[in-house]
Amino acid sequence: MTTAILARPTLGQRLAGPWHASVEFLRLLSRRPVGLAGFIGIVFFLLLAFVAPLFVPFQNDPSLVDIYQTPSAAHPLGTDFQGKDVLNQIVFGGRDILTVAILAALVSTVIAITFGSIAAIIGGRIDTTILAITDVVLTLPKLVLLIAVAAILRPTSFVFLAVILGLIQWSSLLRQIRAQVLSLKERDYVEAARSLDLGLIHIVFREILPTMRSYIAIHFIFATTDAMYAQVFIVFLGLVPVSGSNWGIMLYFAQGQGALFFRDSIWYILSPILAITLVQLSLVSFASALEDIFNPRLRGSA
């Protein structure tokens, strides 16, 4: 009989078969049209940034006769100050910016979760120390700090840039995670886990953090959007050595090359802005549906 139960699809589903999990995810998402739209947007931009470049040839040759063209069949988003195709730059300019944003969000979230839970669970002097550092970081003016760090270190690799962005962002999330864990660890079920001697690792990773999943995921998304803005901002200011192509660099050149003074350059300026805005909008819309997706009450009720 036991094997029969183990083989039942419902149990398979609960024990998290990835296929069932994704079906469940889409089912819950379909109830929230805004979230679904956001999710589709995210998938679109991920495909655009990471997959499309594999199929589209990179066009990097200036063509002086084609400067600031309006959209046409050959150049759907027009051309830039060197006569290069804007759409092509949008396609090739997404990868770095998204990678850095996600990486930065990952760094800050991991720092916040790790030290936030350690502070809350161990408490005492460790808590005080972590909190003191957090408060200092929290009060630093982020953008000024970012400009200073970027100007001094001149991050040449995007991974390095991501780490810097991540290191600046974690403080407010850490405080919130600490507060959440502090309240969760007083829950009856956590007390039960303690008296069953399930161990600290189990308590943190199986009892406490899972109930914060939606919270963490939402914060991760907002950290991504923050990192993206910060990144575009310092690239736009020219604090990062300019090479290759990304949406921030496009804006940098658009400004630097006086695109503002050409009537036809509107496509060149608007394209990266629009791309950035749409990514942000998708992320934020998707975040709005996450609460539902992680709510166990809504699972498996169809």
Please state whether 197 falls in left (phi above 0), alpha (psi between -120 and 50) or beta: left
Query: Closest approach of Cβ 23 to other proteins, in Å?
Result: 16
Query: Closest approach of Cβ 80 to other proteins, in Å?
Result: 50
Verify binding: residue 244, other proteins, rule CB under 8 A: no
Number of residues binding to other proteins, judged by CB under 8 A: 32
Verify binding: residue 206, other proteins, rule CB under 8 A: yes
Verify binding: residue 183, other proteins, rule CB under 8 A: no
From candidates 40, 46, 202, 242, binder to other proteins by CB under 8 A: 202
Q: Considering only residues 3-62, where is the footprint of other proteins by CB under 8 A?
A: 3, 5-6, 8, 10-11, 13-15
Query: Closest approach of Cβ 68 to other proteins, in Å?
Result: 54
What separation in angstroms does the CA of 298 have from each of 4, 36, 207, 272? 26, 16, 19, 38
The Cα 169–Cα 103 span in angstroms is 12
In sequence order, which residues have a C-beta less than 8 Å from that of residue 158 and are 6 or more positions away? 96, 99, 100, 103
Indicate the residue among 119 and 190 with the shorter CB distance to other proteins.
190
Number of other CB atoms surrounding residue 11 within 10 Å? 11
Q: Which stretch binds other proteins (CB under 8 A): 55-63, 75-83, 195-203, 224-232?
A: 195-203
List, in sequence order, every residue forming a beta bridge with 79; answer none if it has no partner.
Answer: 85
From candidates 33, 62, 123, 199, binder to other proteins by CB under 8 A: 199
Query: Closest approach of Cβ 202 to other proteins, in Å?
Result: 6
Verify binding: residue 297, other proteins, rule CB under 8 A: yes
Binding site for other proteins (CB under 8 A): 2-3, 5-6, 8, 10-11, 13-15, 187-189, 191-199, 202, 206-207, 210-211, 213, 296-297, 299-300
